[in-house]
Amino acid sequence: MYDQSFSPATLARLVRKSDFRDFPTIYDDSVKQARIQAASNIAHSDFDGRNPLMSFTKGGKNIYHTLNLPDELVLRKVTLNLRRVTRVRQPDRQSIISNLKHLLAEGTPFRVYRLDISAFYESFITADIIKKINDFKTLSPQTKRLIGKVLAFFEAAGGTGIPRGLALSAVLAELMMDAFDESTTNALGVYFYARYVDDIVVVTNAVENERSFLKALVKNLPEGLVLNEGKQHVKCARERVTPSAIEKILFSFSYLGYEFSVKEPFKDKRVRVQRQFRDVKVDISSNKKTRYKTRICRAFLDFSKTADFSLLYDRLKFLTTNFSIRDINTGRRKLAGIFYNYPHLSTEVGGSLHQLDKFLHDAIRGSNGRLFSRSSGLLTVQQKRELLTLSFKRGHEKRTFAYFHPTHIHAIQGCWAHE
């Protein structure tokens, strides 16, 4: 049977390899044991009556975290207990994209709702969260009490809803959205529904009244949550698949960093119309392409000030290849980079990978404006040749893998810290 207690033994199991890097004093076993005992004491004293959360601002949002290992261990145990009892699982981004891509290729009429929830974490009602937690009879009273304390400290410090950034927050949000997810999935005429945090996509049979459908969705949202009408898009393929002699784009929309373009297939007399599928091109969304270009610009701007070629090379290599990083919420390693972030890309000539390669190579040659002409003048011919070997397209197609030491990744990302 799973042990929900906050004893030194259960908390010790939650110490991760990454903690030895973040809190190097625990290499001393006596220090580690003292930190674990402190965590147990904190759990039984409700954080000693103090707020365990600190915050920093990123993208105009406050992101919360803990500063010391004992507080972090307690929050990990609270999160694990809640996960075990509720069996809440966060959706997999790439599975959503894969399923959506295949569904959009179907030859039947359908309507796509691309929706976004405003101020997602900040809009939940604290009392509703507490009630939801208390309804789980198998969740230990101590876990319930500690969740209540975290939310109370957060609220007392001026926060609303759920604090962004914590692994616990992600579980609480998924738990609060569970009824909405179920009702939308089971709604009449819905072929496909997916939600990744606050980003929603719904595909229907296009029979429903659009306004009534959206009204019903809003009604089923947890109290306090509203849709962001500025990011709301509805697209429709009203007829069955209709092969065309010329390229005919039905519509495009972006979701989870991808841009989907749905097209009618070209006429093929060898295939019956009923057996033809629509063409779905999947590319990097325009805002993500802009982010890559901005990072390239900032890498060259920093180089123009420091003339540190090695760092410039590693930054561009970081953008164009793949690597392993630690998930801050789970402590596990995961693969990331141009392929692992975008495995479903279509790789036609003229797509995002080609555009990014052209932008990068023009930047290296100094033909992209004043910034790049200045940085290009600092590069030797040999250095330019080295940089020109880097390619987004090659990194994606060959799944080129590079290793960067964790401390060096911090240096690499230094010039992008205020995005």
Q: pLDDT by residue (tens digit) across 46-61? A: 999 999 999 998 888 9
Which residues is 190 bridged to in the sheet?
204
3-state secondary structure the chain: CCCCCCCHHHHHCCCCHHHHHHCHHHHCHHHHHHHHHHHHHHHHCCHHHCCCCEEEEECCEEEEECCCHHHHHHHHHHHHHHHHHHCCCCCCHHHHHHHHHHHHCCCCCEEEEEEEECCCHHHCCHHHHHHHHHCCCCCCHHHHHHHHHHHHHHHHCCCCCCCCCCHHHHHHHHHHCHHHHHHHHCCCCEEEEEEECCEEEEEECCCCCHHHHHHHHHHHCCCCCCECHHHCEEEEECCCCCCECCCEEEEEEEECCEEEEEEECECCCCCCHHHCCCEEEEEECHHHHHHHHHHHHHHHHHHHHHCCHHHHHHHHHHHHCEEEEECCCCCCEEEEEHHHHCCCCCCCCCCHHHHHHHHHHHHHHCCCCHHHHHHHHHCCHHHHHHHHCCCHHHHHHCCCECCCCHHHHHHHHHHHCCC
Position 17 scores a pLDDT of 85
Q: What is the mean pLDDT of residues 189-204?
A: 97
Here the contacts of 174-182 (C-beta below 8 Å, separation 24 or greater) are 174/88, 174/89, 174/90, 175/82, 175/86, 175/88, 175/132, 175/133, 176/124, 176/128, 176/129, 176/132, 176/222, 177/222, 178/88, 179/220, 179/222, 180/220, 180/221, 180/222
Q: How confident is the model at residue 277 (pLDDT cuts 50, 70, 90)?
A: confident
Position 334 scores a pLDDT of 83
Position 269 scores a pLDDT of 67
**What's the pLDDT tens digit per position in 126-179?**
999 999 999 999 999 999 999 999 999 999 999 999 999 999 999 999 999 999
Q: What is the mean pLDDT of residues 379-389?
A: 94
**What's the pLDDT tens digit per position in 281-310?**
999 999 999 999 999 999 999 999 999 999
C-alpha distances (whole Å) from 259 to each of 138, 250, 255, 346 are 43, 14, 6, 10
C-alpha distances (whole Å) from 398 to each of 339, 393, 394, 404 are 9, 8, 6, 18
Paired tokens of 379: 């590069």
Single-letter code of the amino acid located at 255: Y
Position 353 scores a pLDDT of 95
Q: How confident is the model at residue 3 (pLDDT cuts 50, 70, 90)?
A: very high
**What's the pLDDT tens digit per position in 236-273?**
998 888 877 677 889 999 999 999 999 987 776 666 66
pTM of the model: 0.89
Q: How confident is the model at residue 417 (pLDDT cuts 50, 70, 90)?
A: confident
Least confident of 9-18, 29-38, 121-130, 264-273: 264-273
Give 408 or 318, the one with higher predicted confidence.
318
Position 271 scores a pLDDT of 66
Q: Is the pLDDT of residue 329 over 60?
A: no
Q: Is the pLDDT of residue 330 over 70?
A: no
Question: For the chain, what percent of residues have pLDDT higher than 90?
Answer: 78
Q: Is the pLDDT of residue 370 over 90?
A: no
The Cα 198–Cα 115 span in angstroms is 8
**What's the pLDDT tens digit per position in 302-326?**
999 999 999 999 999 999 999 987 7
Question: Per-domain residue ranges for the chain?
Answer: 8-57+67-87+139-150, 287-416
Q: What is the mean pLDDT of residues 68-85?
A: 97
Single-letter code of the amino acid located at 62: N
